[in-house]
Structure 1
Amino acid sequence: MLTDELKDTIREAYNALMESKQLTPRWGQRQMIAEIANTLARIPGPGEGPVKEPAVCVIEAGTGTGKTIAYAVTAIPMALALDKRLIVATATIALQEQFIHKDLPDIKHHSGLEFSYALAKGRRRYVCLSKLDRLLAEGQGETSMLALYPEDVSAASPVEAMPVYHGMIDALGRGQWDGDRDNWPDTIAEEVWYPVTTDHAQCTGRRCPNISQCSFFKARDELQNADIIVTNHDLTLADLALGGGAILSPPEDSIYIFDEGHHLPDKALAHFSSFCRLHTTTAWVQDSKKALAQGAPLLGQLDSLERLLQKLPAEMDETVASLQNAEQLVARLFEGVDPEGQRDDPQLRFEHGVVPENLQRVAQSLASQFQNLVGALSRMEAVLEDALDDDFSGLDKSEIETWHINLGGMLGRAEGALALWQAYAEGGEAATPPVARWITMLTGDGQYGFDLRSSPVLAEEILTENLWQRAAGVIITSATITALNSFERFILHSGSPRDANYKQVASPFDYANAVFSVPQLDSEPGDAQAHTAAIVDRLPQLLDPAEGALVLFSSRRQMLDVYQGVAGGMADRILMQGDYSKQEILRRHRERIDAGKGSVIFGLASFAEGVDLPGDYCRHVVIAKIPFAVPDSPLEAALAEWVESQGRNPFMEISVPDAALRLVQAAGRLLRTETDTGRVTLLDRRIISKRYGRAILDSLPPFRRELA
């Protein structure tokens, strides 16, 4: 539905914004506006027939296009006209904050468009007043709430945590804090924050006595009337995983914009994967059994719980025995694994996702046992919910609520373990495409045990079922979506409809202002030692001592070796990833450049994307080698294995497009504004000497080339 009136609204909003902010209209923005408008026009208006084509647009817009303005001035009036909620999902919380606090107010002020907007965050970003009250009431004594910490979070000491909790309750009472972690004036350590926040499983919702003061529900209520919801990929996918409409509006009533949308397939895989750490899961089941025994005198007073409480201990003992059996079996599987040449924590990946028969049998048993545990905990939770609603039960509501929180946490963890064991129980035949299944042996940092994981290797089925076929409309945009000048890689990984609208919009930057250079080297990365020696020899000659530069490596080992090799003459100018946080490295780098000094950042993949160093902050990007994926990634290996099993070439279909995309992202660190100049140097002759290298070279922006 794209009426002449709607076209005029979009055109007038864009022109008003350009004129008011004294900006020059960009051809790329006009292209984006047209493509997005034509795509969303596929959404039926009130009284119109069913959708004939998917209202999905995948649009790669080069750096400097001004994507935010283009999609906002188009999608906002169209969503309002179609009576749909606009959900803008960014890849990071930092981008989300910028959009809600800077971009949207700016667009609203200058465009003449009238709309409301709200920020959506998950429960874990807000304090749970019920948990905070209990922890403060119990003080430094033993808490009645179970310590259901994730694997990577440990408990804080009362001496560390209690002063923070007292400060929180005081600030809430004075109206000086809204319960949002991001609005607390100081950094809160994860081990301090985790006990006073909650998740979907533990929250009692509208039954909670603190519901009227609940920070999360206050924030969520604001979403109900907002025209635009700003959030991030993780929360959007979490909502879709819960069926849609749990936190955000239902997909059928929503138009989604995924900014930095090239991250979407990987984010989706992370949300729909499963995980179980054997050692800590065993300990958790044992702790839960003890906790239920302690709660039996109270819980046994509720109808139908007494029999459950009598049966559960024996069932949990059986589950513990099965987990211990699984751990012994996994340990035997690792007896034949040679950790030499592997990462610090050895991995065992099952070819084509097929689990050995003996482990599959154990998994079937554990899946059945965790299914029974989930069923029992679900029934108990339902009884407690009824008790919270019953004003005449005669039981202490505070104690009932505490146990509802405890049982919700137990249930959430049991459901996570169940998903993993079901995935392993089904792992007897190769699926198409396969599910990757692998085990990691933990050997470092005082950790012990085995991590079992399962994940789809492609997000096609996940996103088709939860997003592409359900959403009213979807816009995917990023500066880097294509690989080798094709959308095929994104289609493969995301399953986006082939009859969607795919468009490339060129950057307004003049790439003739920059040089892409491949100097003569005596070695290629295949000989790692010789290639590192060549970089050590060449790098001091390449880098201007007075300039800002970024040197990007594909492996930490090579980065450290090169640093050792050049440190004698350059150490005072190098800031290396790992020595400080990313933010601190960037701060120090800018500080040095502002002081008129030279500065060089040595970084890995996280510095090859999302780093903005305009002008003098970065005049030279040096890339050690074509950034092929790390070969020990279980997902990459499982996908390559599947492609090869079909008689196709995984190197050309997977590795080369992935590397081309990463190289474009790395080279994109150079030109950040229309006036930037500089040089990109690739120290990898394969881009000239290999046939696939030429394909990668031709996918780069049109820099001036100097190929020795």
Structure 2
Amino acid sequence: MQCAARFCCAISAAPTLLADEVKDTIREAYNAVIAARGLVPRWGQRQMIAEIARTLGRIPEAGESTSEGPAICVVEAGTGTGKTIAYSLAAIPLARARRKRLVVATATVALQEQFINKDLPDIRVSSGLEFSVALAKGRRRYVCLSKLDRHLEQRETSQASIPLYPDEMPAAAIQNALPVYEEMVEALARGDWDGDRDNWSGQASDELWLSVTTDHSQCTGRRCPNVGQCSFFRARDALESADIIVSNHDLVLSDLALGGGVILPAPEDVIYIFDEGHHLPDKALNHFSSFCRLHSTRQWLQDSGKSLAQASTSLAQMTGLERAVAAMPEDMAELSRSLQVLEEQLSELAPGEATSGGRDSDRWRFPNGHVPAPLQTLASGLAGGFGRLAETLARIEARLEDAVEEGDSGFDRAELEDWHLAVAGIRGRCESALALWQDYAVSGKEEEPPRARWMNRVPVGGQEGYELCCSPILANDILTEHLWSRAAGVVVTSATITALNRFDRFIQRSGVPEDAVFKVVASPFDYANATFAVPAMQSDAGDAEAHTAELVTLLPALLADNAAALVLFGSRRQMQAVVAGIAGGLGERLLVQDDYSKQEILRRHREAVDAGRGSVIFGLASFAEGVDLPGGYCRHVVIAKIPFAVPDSPLEAALAEWIDSRGGNAFMEISVPDAALRLVQASGRLLRTENDSGRVTLCDRRILTRRYGREILDSLPPFRRELGPAGSGPART
């Protein structure tokens, strides 16, 4: 009763902008869910509901303004808090009261499916809240009827058409795929399939599927003759009336990168919830980076030029296209020659002007993002050439769109549609290359912070080729421009957002306003049920050879009790060396990453535990997050060493370089907080329910002997501690 009273007080303390009616709705919904499910009320869950409600209460009514600060809330909610219920019960009534749409973005497809198929239906039934839900997916998840028709018609006419992409499925492969395409058409006609790849029961390889789907650049939208039956637009129309749209981080960021409101509602009309939100900055960088593989770009320029030259006689008959179509094949050939010149120069530039990206000798990073003058000059010329080509392709595409829409009697409609798809596909690829050359057409010396620029040597038909890449090193400006400054409201939540007990790392990388609301909600788990141990070891984890040798000796003893265990390594090299060193010391209990798929390893592990046999998983970083092995499925987590990042990422190296250049300490500002966060995530694999118990063992005494170690140690959950001799200071329990 005392907790309930405090919860009422917390909700009541929300600003006056949050009406009593909304507060009552939230309280009643929460009480109804607790009663219907027979759950034990959790104080942390109530704190989270109250914090989100207060924050979203800052969203003004239409025509009003507020001085309360941005409606942005960042909540670290420990494992077991029940954050899905918390953010749903707080945000659904607020979104309705403010007449906003609620977009819930998860980090993975598995979380997305759980939320829409299980969590939301349960909340709707038990809370008494009324709301409608729709699932949002990108165009690539839906079949494109125009492309499907195109392949089937091509079979009937036995005529090859212009390739949408020069590297799409070869004609022979498409012939083999035609029976599958016929099945798809028949299933659509019967109403047995909605065009969603995830709902297709038959076989569909990535290559086969790519040839019958589309992206934003190729889609003609509402002008398409198949729009009435289009699977994507039917799904898109369903979003218009839904109160809650369930999506994923990638699709939300794709929509924002396109300007917002293209696939999802406009940001100004949306309250976003990013679950597993600690991934948001890194995913944003992926969406706003650029790259160009020189050889494949040359190849598609040559192939597209030939295709357009073959079609030039027909296309040139369309008013206004004569000169553009006639000049384009030679323009493409000239760009291809320029790329060849650049590729020859890069082979000389790579070992000198650029710096190695770590242990990978086939990668070079340009220090401070500075582009060498010769490369900048060539990139500037390429940017101009690709820019002019993109403009020409856009004019041709617009003219073809008009012709399709107006039904130009001088041309066959199917032929016009075929040309339009081809030109749109070439333009999309052209604009992708243009983005890279624009990034390299500057010196980079005036950027603050600088972009990371690097090149990779890649195999091309038994020879060497090159790939140029560019990316921001921080997502702060990106997310400020596209998300924080535009959205009606944002909630970011995860079990791991802080590093070293501070939000500084997330603020730096995401650019979230410092006057946003930040809250840490403790896990309800009793960490006294678990022990965090650092065994006495002779080796230092920084000495890879000695540390690996000691692990070979130590691990069989640590895992001798036959309990289910998860052993996490920081490098594949060390994991493989330990596997070879123990030489069957763990018997048939051992399951090693790469021997099977991740899901198969987890399945075999659970099967062995259910059968009463011990099981030990050896895994890398992918097993340190998102793996759920409750109860007896995991009683011991062994972490080989403090999970400092392997220093071969050009983004991390560029960020560290920038911080050091400004007088900072990249190791303390980046490496240590990142390692602390990863160690918390890895330790979090142990306790997955309130009744779990067990042991976390870190085989790295640097956490006791180094100055930074105490900070990392103090950022861990409050486990019982067994700390071996550190060489200085008493063990702490």
TM-score, normalising length from structure 1?
A: 0.97
The residue matched to 1:157 in structure 2 has which SS?
Answer: helix
After superposition, where does 1:581-600 map in structure 2 within 5 Å? Answer: 581-600=597-616
The residue matched to 1:648 in structure 2 has which SS?
Answer: coil
* Candidates 684, 694, 698, aligned match of 1:668: 684
After superposition, where does 1:231-630 map in structure 2 within 5 Å? Answer: 231-336=247-352, 343=359, 346-443=362-459, 448-544=464-560, 546-630=562-646
- 1:137 Cα deviation after fit: 2.3
User: Which deviations, in whole Å up to 9, do the C-alpha atoms of 1:120-153 show, x marking residues without a partner?
Assistant: 00000000011111112223966414152789x9
* Candidates 152, 161, 171, aligned match of 1:144: 161
Match of 1:48?
Answer: 64
Residue identity matched to 1:530: A
CA distance in 2, matches of 1:584, 1:155: 36
- 1:566 Cα deviation after fit: 1.2
The residue matched to 2:134 in structure 1 has which SS?
Answer: strand
Residue identity matched to 1:612: D
* Candidates 165, 168, 171, aligned match of 2:181: 165
CA contact (8 A) 1:360 1:428 kept: no
Task: State which drifts further: 224-233 or 337-346.
Answer: 337-346
The residue matched to 1:550 in structure 2 has which SS?
Answer: strand
CA contact (8 A) 1:344 1:444 kept: no
- 1:427 Cα deviation after fit: 3.0
CA distance in 1, matches of 2:701, 2:164: 54
Match of 2:8?
Answer: none
CA distance in 1, matches of 2:171, 2:710: 53
- 1:206 Cα deviation after fit: 1.1
- 1:546 Cα deviation after fit: 2.5
Matched, 1:188 2:204: yes
Q: CA 1:417 to 1:339, structure 2 compared with 1: closer, same or farther past 3 Å? A: closer
CA contact (8 A) 2:357 2:650 kept: no
CA contact (8 A) 2:357 2:648 kept: no
CA distance in 2, matches of 1:684, 1:695: 15
Q: CA 1:603 to 1:156, structure 2 compared with 1: closer, same or farther past 3 Å? A: farther
CA contact (8 A) 1:56 1:473 kept: yes
Match of 1:222?
Answer: 238
The residue matched to 1:256 in structure 2 has which SS?
Answer: strand
Q: CA 1:338 to 1:2, structure 2 compared with 1: closer, same or farther past 3 Å? A: closer
CA distance in 2, matches of 1:434, 1:142: 50
Match of 2:14?
Answer: none
- 1:472 Cα deviation after fit: 0.5
Q: CA 1:115 to 1:299, structure 2 compared with 1: closer, same or farther past 3 Å? A: same
Q: CA 1:472 to 1:214, structure 2 compared with 1: closer, same or farther past 3 Å? A: same
CA contact (8 A) 1:43 1:51 kept: no
After superposition, where does 1:84-163 map in structure 2 within 5 Å? Answer: 84-139=100-155, 143-148=160-165, 157-158=173-174, 160-163=176-179
- 1:344 Cα deviation after fit: 5.3
Q: CA 1:454 to 1:621, structure 2 compared with 1: closer, same or farther past 3 Å? A: same
Q: CA 1:143 to 1:593, structure 2 compared with 1: closer, same or farther past 3 Å? A: farther
Q: CA RMSD in A?
A: 1.9
The residue matched to 1:492 in structure 2 has which SS?
Answer: helix
- 1:160 Cα deviation after fit: 4.8
CA contact (8 A) 1:440 1:451 kept: yes
CA contact (8 A) 1:9 1:77 kept: yes
- 1:21 Cα deviation after fit: 1.1
Q: CA 1:689 to 1:58, structure 2 compared with 1: closer, same or farther past 3 Å? A: same
- 1:544 Cα deviation after fit: 3.4
Residue identity matched to 1:528: A
User: Which deviations, in whole Å up to 9, do the C-alpha atoms of 1:202-259 show, x marking residues without a partner?
Assistant: 0111111111111000000000011111000000000000110001010111000000
CA distance in 2, matches of 1:369, 1:534: 59
Q: CA 1:632 to 1:57, structure 2 compared with 1: closer, same or farther past 3 Å? A: same
CA contact (8 A) 1:344 1:443 kept: no
* Candidates 51, 65, 81, aligned match of 2:81: 65
CA distance in 2, matches of 1:682, 1:322: 54
Matched, 1:693 2:693: no
The residue matched to 2:26 in structure 1 has which SS?
Answer: helix
- 1:632 Cα deviation after fit: 1.0
Residue identity matched to 1:94: A
Task: State which drifts further: 139-148 or 302-311.
Answer: 139-148
- 1:568 Cα deviation after fit: 2.2
Q: CA 1:615 to 1:444, structure 2 compared with 1: closer, same or farther past 3 Å? A: farther
CA contact (8 A) 1:149 1:155 kept: no
CA distance in 1, matches of 2:270, 2:581: 55
Task: State which drifts further: 655-664 or 47-56.
Answer: 47-56
CA distance in 2, matches of 1:119, 1:653: 39
- 1:595 Cα deviation after fit: 1.0
User: Which deviations, in whole Å up to 9, do the C-alpha atoms of 1:407-461 show, x marking residues without a partner?
Assistant: 1111111111000000001134141111000001114996841111100000010
Q: CA 1:201 to 1:444, structure 2 compared with 1: closer, same or farther past 3 Å? A: closer
After superposition, where does 1:629-648 map in structure 2 within 5 Å? Answer: 629-648=645-664
The residue matched to 1:262 in structure 2 has which SS?
Answer: helix
- 1:186 Cα deviation after fit: 4.1
Match of 2:4?
Answer: none
Q: CA 1:402 to 1:345, structure 2 compared with 1: closer, same or farther past 3 Å? A: farther
Match of 2:731?
Answer: none
The residue matched to 2:583 in structure 1 has which SS?
Answer: helix
- 1:343 Cα deviation after fit: 4.6
CA distance in 2, matches of 1:647, 1:609: 33
User: Which deviations, in whole Å up to 9, do the C-alpha atoms of 1:143-173 show, x marking residues without a partner?
Assistant: 414152789x999824652232222112111
CA distance in 2, matches of 1:80, 1:318: 56
Consecutive unaligned residues of structure 1, counting only runs of 5 or more, are none
CA distance in 2, matches of 1:91, 1:189: 24
The residue matched to 2:691 in structure 1 has which SS?
Answer: coil
The residue matched to 1:196 in structure 2 has which SS?
Answer: coil
CA contact (8 A) 1:345 1:442 kept: no
CA distance in 2, matches of 1:91, 1:330: 37
CA contact (8 A) 2:145 2:230 kept: yes
CA distance in 1, matches of 2:208, 2:237: 27
Task: State which drifts further: 532-541 or 141-150.
Answer: 141-150
Residue identity matched to 1:576: V
Residue identity matched to 1:217: F
User: Which deviations, in whole Å up to 9, do the C-alpha atoms of 1:628-675 show, x marking residues without a partner?
Assistant: 111011000000000000111000000000000000000000000000
Residue identity matched to 1:356: P
CA contact (8 A) 2:107 2:275 kept: yes
Match of 2:27?
Answer: 11
Q: CA 1:630 to 1:146, structure 2 compared with 1: closer, same or farther past 3 Å? A: same
- 1:570 Cα deviation after fit: 1.8
Q: CA 1:143 to 1:615, structure 2 compared with 1: closer, same or farther past 3 Å? A: farther
